[in-house]
Amino acid sequence: MRRKILFFHAYYITKGGECTVFEEESKLMESSDELVTKRIFFENIKMKGFFGFYLYVKFILNYLYVMITFKPDVVHFHNIFPFHLIAPIISKCFNAKNVITVHNYRFKCMNGLFYINGSVCEKCIHSNWNSYSLLGKCYSSNLLLNLYAWFYTLFYMSMLKTRIFSKVIALTNFSKLKMIESGLPVKKIVIKSNFVHFSEDYIYDKNNEGNFIYIGRLSEEKGVLELVEFWMKRPPLGKLVIYGDGPLREKLSKLCHGYNHIVLGGRLSKSEVLKELRRANALIFPTKFYEAQPLILIEAMICNTRIIASKIGAVPEVLAGYQGSEFFELDKIEVLEEIISSKIYKKPFKANLDAFTSDYTRRNLVSLYKEILS
């Protein structure tokens, strides 16, 4: 008997890695002979006033229709905001089992990052009421928005602890430990990595251009501003190309003006990302917060790209065993100069990438669905 799986996701206003994972994973599971799958997703916009309420209600009604007609055995959630108060409860009322892949830390942190005011913050991790985040306005300076986010975080965590969710998927062991520290029962958590499709697009280019590249969101917590300021003072290191978009784009554009060895390259398509990774001297990943499991690191490993990354959160775990990776401490960014100039690697690098393959993900998810339905 083929089990029915419904994949649920609410897109962010600016699509990122989490949205890509939802799309790729739900598409991958369509190829399983043991499952019948369907997707439902909400194209998020800035919902305001009556129109926002109309779109919210319309989506919920559509979700109800899908539950009635498709009758899934399992609903696999990714991002459930802003439907966290009702979507998992609806599926439970239809006797479906709920599974959720957790891509951030919103189960305990209002902004989902464990990061505020330029540094990592875990002040609420052992608190039952997350009082610091409420008083510190960690989500918004607007009191009502902050109160709403605070309530959402408390409610979300309480749902994860109850039978509403059968299993919670953590992307890394680091994320799993943070869930446990926050009070989530160990037996509810399973680890399953993100994955990428291996193909000829990932074959490394022996004739790289020698550029150092950054690929990602241009935002404060990503450490891209510190990277550019560091590079401005060191032209001999080589050319740095910054790819991506985000709130810091205008500031970085002004900052880089007049520096020929720093280029702002804009957003890239998936194929363009792989092309740049294949021919780069190195990918620099200077993140300042606990990233869940960045796809760019997995893609860089498969492309045999040298990776120079900040030693924080799950990053060392993701890159464990990859011969082409090097780390620096966030408060010692100046050691980048020594790392860049001291070692020359010969490709291909050795790495164990089995956990990041599509076959591994397919087998793991099918096994998980069978387990919770048994």
| CATH code of the domain covering residue 216 | 3.40.50.2000
Asked if residue 260 is part of any domain, the answer here is yes
Asked if residue 42 is part of any domain, the answer here is yes
Show Cβ contacts of residue 48 under 8 Å, excluding neighbours closer than 6 positions.
none
pTM of the model: 0.93
Asked if 181 and 298 sit in the same domain, the reply is: no
For 60-82, b/e burial (b = at least 16 CB within 10 A) is eeebeebbeebebbbbbbbbbbb
User: How many other β-carbons are positioned within 10 Å of the β-carbon of residue 150?
Assistant: 21
Asked if 276 and 368 sit in the same domain, the reply is: no
Asked if 13 and 24 sit in the same domain, the reply is: yes
Asked if 301 and 338 sit in the same domain, the reply is: yes
Handedness of CA 183, 169, 244, 322 (dihedral sign): positive
Asked if 177 and 34 sit in the same domain, the reply is: yes
Asked if 311 and 291 sit in the same domain, the reply is: yes
Asked if residue 141 is part of any domain, the answer here is no
Asked if residue 156 is part of any domain, the answer here is no
- Return d(Cα 367, Cα 374) in angstroms, integer: 11
Asked if residue 125 is part of any domain, the answer here is no
Asked if 251 and 313 sit in the same domain, the reply is: yes
Asked if 208 and 92 sit in the same domain, the reply is: no
Asked if residue 129 is part of any domain, the answer here is no
Asked if 232 and 348 sit in the same domain, the reply is: yes
Asked if 367 and 308 sit in the same domain, the reply is: no
Asked if 174 and 261 sit in the same domain, the reply is: no
Asked if residue 77 is part of any domain, the answer here is yes
Alpha-carbon radius of gyration of the chain: 21
Q: Which domain holds residue 299?
A: 200-354
Our CA dihedral for 36, 16, 358, 351, rounded to 10 degrees, sits at -170
Asked if residue 276 is part of any domain, the answer here is yes
CA atoms lying within 13 Å on the CB side of residue 23? 10
Among 32, 30, 40, smallest CA distance to 9 is for 40
CB 242 within 8 A of CB 228: yes
Structure tokens at 357: 């393959």
- Return d(Cα 333, Cα 205) in angstroms, integer: 28
Total tally of structural domains belonging to the chain: 2
From first to last of its 374 residues, the chain has per-residue pLDDT tens of 899 999 999 998 777 788 999 999 999 999 999 999 999 999 876 666 678 788 889 999 999 999 999 999 999 999 998 888 899 999 999 999 999 999 999 999 999 999 999 999 999 999 888 888 888 889 888 888 889 889 989 999 999 999 999 999 999 999 999 999 999 999 999 999 999 887 655 565 555 567 899 999 999 999 999 999 999 988 778 899 999 999 999 999 999 988 989 999 989 988 899 989 988 989 999 999 999 999 999 999 988 899 999 999 999 999 998 988 999 998 888 888 888 876 655 566 777 888 899 999 999 999 999 999 99
Asked if 175 and 248 sit in the same domain, the reply is: no
